[in-house]
Structure 1
Amino acid sequence: MSHEEIKRYFESTPPPEVVQWKPWAKISDSKLFLNSCYIGIHNFNGPLEMCPAWWHLKDFYQHVKRNLPNTTEPQPE
């Protein structure tokens, strides 16, 4: 998945504002975090695989996909 695909995913399915990403990393403004990743990727002068912002974006995407509740299941009343 490319960073553009991840960006489109988060535009259509925004993550929660506050995310406990790792035991030592709590993101208090996920929109700001994502924007900083996009800017870092855009400004990086090298292979995408070597860009720290790309790795952070990809890890964050995987974390959110794993931990978001499945909204297609019926909710209890």
Structure 2
Amino acid sequence: MNPEEIKRYFESSPPPLEVDWKPWAKITDSQLFLKSCYTGIRTFNGPLDMCPAWWHLRDFYILKKKTAQQDAVEKTEEEAAEYSAEKAPAKTQSAS
């Protein structure tokens, strides 16, 4: 993964405007945060793996990918539960 791949990911799947990233870090404008990371990476004079903006961008990307996968799993589980509930035979009480 490189900055361009991450940029394409966020262009196709934009993050929400506000993100509670870490207990001590809240992003109030995710697009501004991303733009800042891209600028920091572009202007950094050194190896990419030593660039703080790259590490912030990479960590944010990993968080958003993980969150998206968890959301997809939860949605699938909810749909499966709803489908099972619809297909389950209705229980009737016998007259005794």
How does the TM-score come out when normalised to structure 2? Answer: 0.73
Q: How does 1:1-77 map to 2 (within 5 A)?
A: 1-68=1-68, 69-70=71-72, 73=76
Q: 1:75 to 1:16 in 2, by over 3 A?
A: farther
Greater gyration radius: 2
* Greater RCO (CA < 8 Å, at least 6 residues apart): 1
Task: Point out the structure with the larger helix share.
Answer: 2
TM-superposition CA deviations, 1:31-57 (whole Å, max 9, x none): 000000000000000000000000000
Secondary structure of 1:15's counterpart equals: coil
% identical aligned pairs: 64
Query: Size of the alignment, in residue pairs?
Result: 77
Q: How far is 1:75 from its partner?
A: 7.0
Runs of 4+ in 1 over 3 A off after TM superposition: 71-77
CA RMSD of aligned residues (A): 1.9
What are structure 1's unaligned runs of at least 5 residues? none
